[in-house]
Amino acid sequence: MSKPVAFLNALAQSLSTMMLYPREHPAWERALDVSFNALLGLQANNREPRFSFIGRDVVYDDVPLHEMRDWPWASRLAEVGIQRVEFGPAVPREEYADFLAELLSRLVRAGVQRHAPSLLTETPDEPSLVVGPDGMPPRKQAQIKFGALVVHDEHGAPAPEISRSTRKTPVAGIPFGLSEEISAVQWLQGEAGTGDSIPVLEADAVVRSLSVAMRGSSSLIVPLLRLKASDPYNAIHSINVATLTMALCEYLGMSKRDVHLFGNAALLHDIGMARVPKDLLHKPANLSDAEREIVERHPAEGARIIMSSDQRLELAAMAAYEHHLRPDGTGYPRRANPRPPQYPSRLVRVCSVYNALRIARAHRQPFSAERALAFIEERAGTEFDTELARSFAQMMRTLNARVADFDRDVAIKTPPVAMQPINEFEIHH
């Protein structure tokens, strides 16, 4: 993830958390540090970064951030008069805190006006910031300038919108790591573990970022993370399953919109695992019947968390609920009258099991790519949808040279795979 994108995602994460707490609460301060530290990281390369929110575009300095196109927070900020933000070279933490407090105040006020306009009196519009040859005039903040955006040319007349064909495009080949995505998914899972909902906009941002990583060259690549001893399994697994799911959707010829929706569902398919006690997640021995029952609640928990977060995420909730069901409807959650899972759930299941087999666990070494594909093909029609299993295996073999495994420096030492019998439940747990 590029540093400008990392900062915007951190900003959204901070605002989402801060909306839940008063300013004096420790969680508010911790949320502040998330994006403030991201700003400092950005300023290591660019001491005076500028962001503009223009229609569906997010522009960093003079370069559109294509991966942030249609970023939901852009329209939310623009609606409350924040279409342009400029940071000076030495932003104090306290000034940054005041800046976020101002953003929150406007966002909350806009929400109240939208749902109960009679509760608030009319106030004058905020003055626009005029961007001309001399830049923006200062506001009350010494190091942070923000406000509405009106672009003028050198003669003082409104400038025409910049044609996308003439805009600069980020240079291909810039290093694109996934550490920020891992942190974002960990944060999402932490929110799911302690509350009844998750900030779905941040999940959407991770999926957009993964989509950009997959298009890091002229052709599709499939960047998959290996698990090192210190890495969070659930976050790594969720990111890899989202990547595999989007790759399979593209391979099957789905629309860009559907690829994104399926990717979002895949990223959240195991969100219910955040409610499973950690000692069960990391238990190397077999689970007892009582412990297994606790683990098997996670699909229903995940679906509930997703729907309580945003009722428009029916597809993601469906995949979370059904991804442990076989084609005939058996598996878990157990139902009195089993029925086949829906297509999105069947697709996510194939990708989820493949990645679970490929990742090293405390009780076994990872399967090779070919052995994992053979595992899926052998169970096509019983454990997996026949056509999806075949398509997935065909895709992975076709894209073999473009499946980029990220090696990690710590290997989990376990007995050889051949010594470890494996059943369907143990694939994930």
Q: Let me know: does 389 contact 371? Beta carbons within 8 Å.
A: no
Same domain, 349 and 238: yes
Domain boundary among 166, 193, 218: 166
CATH (domain of 416): 1.10.3210.10
Q: Same structural domain for residues 161 and 251? A: no
pLDDT value, residue 325: 97
User: What are 141-156's pLDDT values in tens digits?
Assistant: 478 988 876 544 445 5
Tell me the backbone φ, ψ of residue 225, rounded to 5 degrees: -90, 135
Residues 149 and 262 in one domain: no
Q: Has residue 324 been placed in a domain? A: yes
Identity of the residue numbered 133: P
CA–CA gap between residue 164 and residue 121 (Å, rounded): 40
How far apart, in whole angstroms, are the C-alpha atoms of residue 258 and residue 269?
Answer: 16
User: Which stretch, 3-7, 127-131, 363-367, has highest mean pLDDT?
Assistant: 3-7
Whether residue 228 sits in one domain with residue 102: no
Same-domain status, 71 and 161:
yes
Task: Please count the other Cβ atoms lying within 10 Å of the Cβ belonging to residue 219.
Answer: 10
3 state SS of 309:
helix
210 shares a domain with 81: no
Residues 297 and 154 in one domain: no
Summarised one tens digit per residue, pLDDT across range 82-102 is 888 999 999 999 999 999 988
Looking at the structure, tell me whether residues 94 and 226 fall in a common domain.
no
In this structure, is residue 35 part of a structural domain? yes
Residues 101 and 66 in one domain: yes
Q: Is residue 173 part of a domain?
A: no
Domain count, the chain: 2
Establish if 136 belongs to a structural domain: yes
Does residue 171 lie in a domain region? no
Model confidence pLDDT, tens digit, residues 336-390: 888 999 999 999 999 999 999 998 776 678 899 999 999 999 999 999 999 999 9
pLDDT band at 406 (very low <50, low <70, confident <90, very high): low
* Residue 57: inside a domain: yes
Beta bridge partners of 331: 325
22 by Cβ neighbours in 10 Å (0-12 / 13-18 / 19+) ranks as exposed
- Average pLDDT, stretch 73-89? 87
Residue 172 lies in a domain: no
Q: Is residue 30 part of a domain?
A: yes
Q: Are residues 193 and 100 in the same domain?
A: no
Q: Which of 166, 190, 212 is the last residue of a domain?
A: 166
Per-residue pLDDT tens over the stretch 161-171: 332 322 333 32
333 shares its domain with 356: yes
Residue 68 structural domain: 3-166
Is residue 274 located within the same domain as residue 142? Answer: no
- Is pTM beyond 0.75? Reply is no
Cβ contacts of 87 within 8 Å, gap of 6 or more: 39, 43, 48, 49, 50, 143, 144
Query: Would you say 68 and 101 are in contact if contact means Cβ atoms under 8 Å apart?
Result: no
